[in-house]
A and B are shown apart, each in its own frame.
Chain A
Amino acid sequence: METRTLDVDVLVVGGGTAGPLAAIRAKEKDRNLRVLLLDKANVKRAGAIAEGMDSVNNAVIPGHATPEQYVREITIANDGIVNQATIHAYASRSHDMIRKLDGWGVKFEKDGNGDYAVKKVHHMGAYVLPMPEGYNVKKVIYRQIRKVGVEVSNRLTATRLLTGGGGRIAGALALDSRSGDFVVVRARAVILCTGAAGRLGLPASGYLFGTYENPTNAGDGYSMAYHAGAELSGLECFQINPLIKDYNGPACAYVTGPFGGYTVNAKGERFIKSDYWSGQMMLEFWRELESGNGPVFLKLDHLAPETVTRIENILHITERPTRGRFHEGRHTDYRSDLVEMHISEIGLCGGHSASGVWVDEHARTTVPGLYAAGDLCNVAHNYMLGAMVFGEIAGGDAVDFLDGQAHAAIDQDQVEAERKRLFAPLGREEGFTPAQVEYKLRRMVNDYLQPPKVTAKMEIGLRRFAEIREDLERIKATSPHELMRAIEVHAILDCAELAAHASLYRTESRWGLYHHYPEHPERNDAEWFTFVEVRKGADGRPVCFKRPVPPYLFPIDEQDRDAYNRLRIDAPAAA
């Protein structure tokens, strides 16, 4: 077990979706720079898009939608709490990114005229672009990474960021989860692209790795940004998704909706007007499950057999290709059976909801030289294409930031403190396994943080989390792999505590189920039309505070403001 030191100009942490685009952009902008892309997994097959995607959830394509319409839709879907400048930064580059990917060889659905075949799934506008042959997206991007000469390093789990004078970024520390080496990376700018906090709640199955998110994304980036002094935003706006029960993957409404599939209750009745994932839709979904009308199902059995075959050829081949195997095991056939749905464990994710590291429209965090992109940053409902666009923005801006900046000096105390924290579990004679502590922590997350949120429960939760923090000192690891799992538990615990603090701070209800707080049942714009931010205080404890919502670029009409709060179909509609 050795210590290795690397010196680079731009370090990109996370080679999933946003990271590759950030690294490619930085290298393209200045070929003389050393750009390093590191990943806990293997960049070739890392991240949410490893097996492709079945649709672009938020394509803004001329003739179907304008950036302005999209910004308005997401503002309304996210109950007003957005920095429209960031949503607009995505929307105005969305079409160019699709054309770029198309040029690289990613396949999108087109109509007879060769135009992109955009579908309406959102409540108001049309933004979904199917990718029935989207399984090769990662391969295509990987080819570009190689082409422009980005350096790649796999099986490195970044665990802490280094900061220098004035709080400026100085690099990162990482564990090689194969060799057990400790890696010190000096960098002039760092771009964090480590995805969602996907191992926060425990899936109903109890299987630690049966998460909605790719479980490599344990929340490391949230924890690293927090400890480096960055501001985190919207951590009370949880990610909760409607998923195939037990399988815990998307069904997926964006694929089946345009073919005529929809969500029904046990009586076979429709109860929501739009299957687009929003907190408001999830609240109706949850209410239906809790009422005597559940379970909730995805209904496809009314469709023509050819249509079902087309759906299977997408759902069972791309994105989460084991869906077919799961259905086979349960003897579920879309042609004759309804698909039982459930709600996911809670998580933190900017790309699906709005919980992430605070960034502006240049992807800058509040730490000089530190950027965040993808699911980790707080740009609401940004999904795959938004991750790529924000990756590019970050890569470009980071190169400008470097201008005239030398490396910040490395603080050896930070390095040694991390070495001690990271490797301690290897030296213990006896102790808990990382999985034991993780299981207990995530079960407590379910018990105390899952909406409906309750003050007394969240306070008990914080006490349990404090006890588990003491248990961190009792985890034993026997290999570098287990060491990686042990250090992930630290990050999950940080995320759990920060999510509890932010949730307790916002004393209203907002975003449907995501922040459903019955003691404060109404949305209260007079006091809470604001972001809730959290950062590490001088005493090392989290501090919550308000950050005003910047003035809108595109004002919202009074009548549209609540459009997403009217998703329930009251009288049973004829199916």
Chain B
Amino acid sequence: MPATIREVPNPSVRIDHGKCIADKGCRSCIDSCPLDILAFDEGDGKVKMAYDECWYCLPCEHDCPTKAVTVSIPYLLR
């Protein structure tokens, strides 16, 4: 994984960085995503949607301990 992550434009999966505790080592959403599209940016310490490959399935949201993840239906389907 590259150290800095380019987030997809208009990501349909959003992380509330105020709530996210990735700085404490949490990677739950990244670990549970079956498509492996979320990534931790070592540059700015933020979790981002790195690939526009979302099945809108929700393990990321359900496994987040702080409810920081919000999944929307991808734009093309909305």
Measured CB to CB, the residues of A under 8 A from B are 40-42, 44-47, 50-51, 155, 177-178, 205-211, 214-216, 246-248, 320-322, 325-326, 329-330, 479-481, 485
Contact = CB atoms under 8 A, between A and B. Distances in A.
Interface string B51-62: 111111111001
B30 to A, nearest CB: 10
A207 B51 contact: no
A216 B71 contact: no
Nearest to B54: A209
Dominant secondary structure at the A interface? loop
Given A45-B63, A215-B55, A479-B2, A246 B77 contact: yes
16 contacts: A41-B33, A41-B34, A42-B34, A44-B32, A45-B34, A51-B58, A177-B36, A209-B74, A210-B77, A214-B34, A247-B77, A321-B57, A322-B57, A322-B58, A326-B73, A481-B50
Contacts of B62: 51
A215 B53 contact: yes
A155 B31 CA distance: 9
Contact of B74 (A40, A47, A207, A216): A207
Contacts of A485: 53
Interface string B25-55: 0000001111110000000000000111111
Nearest to B74: A207
A481 B49 CA distance: 13
A42 B51 contact: no
A211 B36 contact: no
Contacts of A50: 34, 57, 59
B73 A247 contact: yes
Contact of A209 (B55, B58, B59): B55
A496 to B, nearest CB: 20
Nearest to B52: A209
Contacts of B71: 322, 325
A45 B74 CA distance: 20
A42 B77 contact: no
5 closest Cβ pairs, A-B complex:
A41-B34, A45-B59, A207-B76, A45-B32, A322-B56
B76 A320 contact: no
B74 A210 contact: yes
B1 A178 contact: yes
A270 B38 CA distance: 44
Interface centre among B31, B32, B57, B71 (most CB of A within 10 A): B57
Contacts of A479: 1-2
B32 A216 contact: no
Interface string B1-20: 11000000000000000000
A325 B78 CA distance: 9
Contacts of B66: none
Contacts of B53: 208-209, 215, 485
Interface centre among B50, B56, B63 (most CB of A within 10 A): B56
A371 B71 CA distance: 37
Nearest to B31: A42
Contacts of A216: 34-35
Contact of A51 (B2, B59, B72): B59
A207 B56 CA distance: 12
B62 to A, nearest CB: 8
A124 to B, nearest CB: 33
